[in-house]
Homo-oligomer: A and B are copies of this chain.
Amino acid sequence: MTVLVVGSIALDSVETPFGRAENVLGGSAVFFAASASLLTQVQMVGVVGSDYPVDQLEVLAERGVDLTGIERAEGESFRWRGRYRHDLNTAETLETRLGVFSHFRPKIPEAFRDAPFVFLGNIDPRLQLDVLQQVHKPKLVACDTMNFWIESRRSDLLELLEHVDLITLNDAEARQLTEEANLVKAARWIQSHGPKTVIIKKGEHGALMFGPTSVFFTPAFPLESVFDPTGAGDAFAGGFIGYLARCGTVNDINMRRAVVYGSAMGSFAVERFSITRFLEIDESEIAARVLDFHRLVSVEQEIPA
């Protein structure tokens, strides 16, 4: 089944202890689509400025991503410049230039409005609500958010929560939104405000999914070299929703497996700058990584080194 993603399309400049990249493809919609398109059909909505290297997005079109929902506006594209220090856990934002993104009003093409799976990437919750008014009864609506919206758009965000089935957010954001230090309590608080399912992303410490009737955990893959954490959260969401969309049916077992797919995609994202790694891998590498995840927590199997 098809997934509609609405989010940012950016040019990232990133510095890590292992190297730097200038003006490479980035943004929540791009990372999501690069990841999800390995599992299912993706429709993408976002805005780019007149300076955007749209030809570089062709690699996504080749993967079957429908780019007809990308609006081209006069002006500069959204740019983010960030740096990771040695521990790689926290991005230090050096510069954010919203450019055309500051006037973005998502327009969902008629052909996208029946998408059964919808992912509202990390944008203004007011715009996320706007998107929901344009789509027709999706099977599952998921959203992401960030500290900036929790601070500046709290009431809009709370309104959004009433209309989504699932939210992904990181542990610091969950604590900030709920004012609960304990993540179990934080998740329960969020569930009581709307979404039946809450996925708390803990970066290198894995992800916890609180569903209506169960809790599921998956670790982050213990990688020997983490190159650039940018986009890992959106790649996670892409793997998660992409897998669910491929299954077609939303139930506890599929959701659990989807978390593993999300974690696998997050682990690929961090191995290279930008979406590079997703252009290298195929179904068989994904399957192998998913198997590695199962082995990592299995009490029944030996794993050859």
Query: Could you tell me if B184 and A222 are in contact, using CB atoms closer than 8 angstroms?
Result: yes
Select A216's contact among B213, B256, B296, beta carbons within 8 Å. Answer: B296
Q: Is A295's beta carbon under 8 Å from chain B?
A: yes
One digit per residue, 1 when the CB lies within 8 angstroms of any chain B CB and 0 when it does not, for chain A 268-299 equals 00000000000000000000000000111111
Query: Could you tell me if A305 and B213 are in contact, using CB atoms closer than 8 angstroms?
Result: yes
A216 to B299, CA, bound (A): 8
Q: Is A226's beta carbon under 8 Å from chain B?
A: yes
Select A214's contact among B224, B226, B303, beta carbons within 8 Å. Answer: B303
Number of A residues near B (Cβ < 8 Å) is 42
One digit per residue, 1 when the CB lies within 8 angstroms of any chain B CB and 0 when it does not, for chain A 173-204 equals 00000000111110010000000000000100
A212 to B202, CA, bound (A): 28
Q: Which residue of chain B is the closest to A203 with respect to CB atoms?
A: B205
A226 to B87, CA, bound (A): 26
Given contacts A182-B225, A205-B202, A208-B222, whether A215 and B303 have CB atoms under 8 Å apart is: yes
Select A300's contact among B218, B223, B253, B304, beta carbons within 8 Å. Answer: B253
Q: Which residue of chain B is the closest to A223 with respect to CB atoms?
A: B184
CB contacts (< 8 Å) of A225 on chain B: these are 182
